[in-house]
Amino acid sequence: MLLASLCPSILRAHGEIEGTGRQDFTRIIESKGEKYRIYLMYSPPLPTAGEPANGGIDLMRLLATPDPLLGSEVAITEAPDVALVDQKSGRIVVEHLPFLSEPTAGTYEFNNYEFPKGGSFLMRIRFQPAGGDVITADFPITVQPNAAAAFRFWVNLAVIILILGLTAMQLRKVRARGGEFAQMVRPAAAGLISLVVVVLAMDRFILGAVLDLRKPPPAAPVEGSVTTNEDGSYIIPAAIQQELGLSLVEAKEVSLGQIVTAFGTVEARPDLTAIVQAPLWGRIEWAKNPLAVGDRVTKGQALVQMVLELNALERGLMEAKDVDIKGAKKRVEDRRNGARLEYDRWKALHAKNPAYEADEKWAKELFDQATADYNEVVKQDTAYQAIMKWRNPRLTPVASPINGVITTIDFVPGELNQTANYRNLFTIVDPSQVWIRAQIFLADVTKLKDGDSLRVFPVNSENKPVAGKVRWIGDTIDPVNRTVPVLVDISNEGQVFALGSFARLQFEQPRQVLAVPEEAVVDEGTSRWVYVAREQGTFAPVQVELGLKQGGWWQVTSGLMVGDQVIAKGAALLGSMPRPEETMLETAPATPAAAASTQVSEASTSHQQ
């Protein structure tokens, strides 16, 4: 307890990381066609053996094409194996460093770790992504021996021995002069008080100043290193820019189309609509099978037939004549039968007596005449029956004039059409081509003309749009809504657009705007920025406000000027690197900040305070 109070430097030497800074490394590794980003950070940048050190690792898989939800990289959830290897001998000093994992974020950390000894080491990171090979990456780390604690301990011990020795000499002198115990208390107390005051003063003021003088100055940035300034900007040499694959583009004015949306109603085209009518009076019957609304019919298909019946006078005359013909037929038939009997009788007599030959001949002539008369009457009867069948009733078919779908039926089967005018029977529409009748605001319709193309969607649907073409633009303006009627002609294969339903129309109005490529924007959801080239090799994060995004370009409404050079490819990599907590994004062109950083090797960054 006394030693702890007299040597507080021993306790203070542990865990004091604040104000020491950190060392950052970022490395891109390619394996089996996939790219992985490994980020390593440890603090302080020059750890001391036996003193607390913190660190962290980020493992990310870079996506060839950024995902709208995940971004440009995905966390590696397989925990890495991290070992500490002696850089000279290759011997493993610590087989497993105690990393705490947050696999959903791909982040792994260690806190208050004390390196066992000083020296030059490699922090060897090994991990195996799903479906890939084992990836190994070595990062250098230098651990300095804990000379400060030993120096403080031995100096404080020497001071303690010196003061205790001087106090013992004083007590011996008092004892030699014959002093009693009471006379020795004062020198002993003075010695102890001096011991405490001197040790505390030396440890707090003198030894601290001496150790500060012995600290090596921060290393200056070296060629081939990335420097992070306090304002969040980076100084990146050309060689490192090439290694990281950074490319610069110019913010410029490009033509982007502003999307205009309107709504309309689906209508049938008049030239593809037919109204089927009854051509004459009579009873209306189905031609074959009954039809219903929604049935598809073809051009020339018989829909109904008109049954034209005879009136009473016509029917009476025809029936009377039919009776006469049938009576005549009966009479000639009876006469023919009688002539046959007479002919048969004379024929039998002639066979017995040749004297009856003339009588047989006369009987045969009568029979032949009766047969001829009978055949003539039968022919008349057959012909008249055919006439009656054609005249009663007379059937007139009504056919479809177009291919299409029945949308209305305006009669009842069996109904007698007694009017002399044409009677509507069906409405047939061909839905393969339809119109969209829309109302578009005057400010938007001025950019349209006949024949322009539009995209048409079924309302409340994001399905693949149908190409439409402007057929007609009205010349009257709604005085209340300030809209103009527009007809759009579209193909309706598959009947995606039902007649009478709503449709959504979209078209673009191109305009010149300041824009940068999409990959140049680092989007964190709540804020967006780009890295702007300031001086040679210096790139500063600039917060921007964005607008339209189209064709790989993103409109910039504030934050940039025409001609500003920004990082396009590789901007996401810089955006994923940690920045100092006090970094404030620029809102105006930045001036070169004082370099308050130290060097980084192999695309690594060191932050010191």
pLDDT at position 30, please?
A: 84
Residue 220 has pLDDT above 50, yes or no: no
Domain holding 332, by residue range, is 312-392
pLDDT at residue 453 above 80? yes
Phi first, then psi: what are they for 410, rounded to 5°?
Answer: -110, 30
- For 10, the token pair is 């021993």
280 and 421 belong to one structural domain: yes
Q: What is the DSSP string of 126-178?
A: EE--TTS--EEEEEEEEEB--HHHHHHHHHHHHHHHHHHHHHHHHHHHHHHTT
Q: How many CB atoms lie within 10 A of CB 190?
A: 12
How far are the Cα atoms of 274, 287, 303, 395 from residue 278, in angstroms, in the given order? 13, 13, 11, 12
**Residue from 259, 258, 276, 271 nearest 487 by CA:** 271
Is residue 328 domain-shared with residue 281, that is, in the same domain?
no
Asked if 282 and 242 sit in the same domain, the reply is: no
Q: What is the domain count for the chain? A: 5
For 262, the 3-state DSSP assignment is strand
Shared domain for 245 and 285, answered yes or no, is no
Higher-confidence residue of 609 and 348: namely 348
410 and 299 both lie in a single domain = yes
- Of the candidates 532, 513, 442, 450, which has an alpha carbon nearest to the alpha carbon of residue 483? 442
Q: Which amino acid is at 477?
A: I
Q: Which residue, of 114, 145, 176, is where some domain finishes?
A: 145
C-alpha 57/C-alpha 52 separation (Å) is 17
3-class secondary structure, 358: helix
Question: Positive or negative, the Cα torsion across 125, 130, 134, 135?
Answer: negative
| Residue 221 belongs to some domain of the structure | no
Taking 80 as the threshold, does the pLDDT of residue 148 lie above it?
no
Q: Which residues pair with 510 in a beta bridge?
A: 257
What percent of the chain clears pLDDT 70, i.e. is strictly above it? 81
129 in the same domain as 115: yes
State yes or no: cis peptide before 187, omega within 30 of 0: no
182 and 129 assigned to the same domain: no
Residue 304: give its domain's CATH number.
2.40.50.100
Answer yes or no: is 442 within a domain.
no
Q: Are 156 and 197 in a shared domain? A: yes
pLDDT in tens, 247-295: 889 999 888 777 788 889 999 999 999 999 887 777 888 988 899 999 9
In sequence order, the β-bridge partners of residue 138 are 124
Whether residue 354 sits in one domain with residue 287: no
Residue 374 confidence (pLDDT)? 92
Mean pLDDT rounded to a whole number for the chain: 79
Q: CA separation (Å) from 41 to 10, 163, 217, 446, 577?
A: 27, 46, 21, 59, 10
Bridge partners (DSSP) listed for residue 260: 507
Position 571, amino acid: A
pTM above 0.75, yes or no: no
Hey, what's the torsion of the CAs at 572, 575, 578, 583, to 10 degrees?
170
Q: What are phi and psi of 430, to 5 degrees?
A: -90, 105
Answer yes or no: is 474 within a domain. Answer: no
Q: How far apart are the first and last CA of the chain?
A: 34
**293, 406 in Cβ contact below 8 A?**
yes
From the list 110, 143, 111, 141, the residue with the least C-alpha distance to 124 is 141
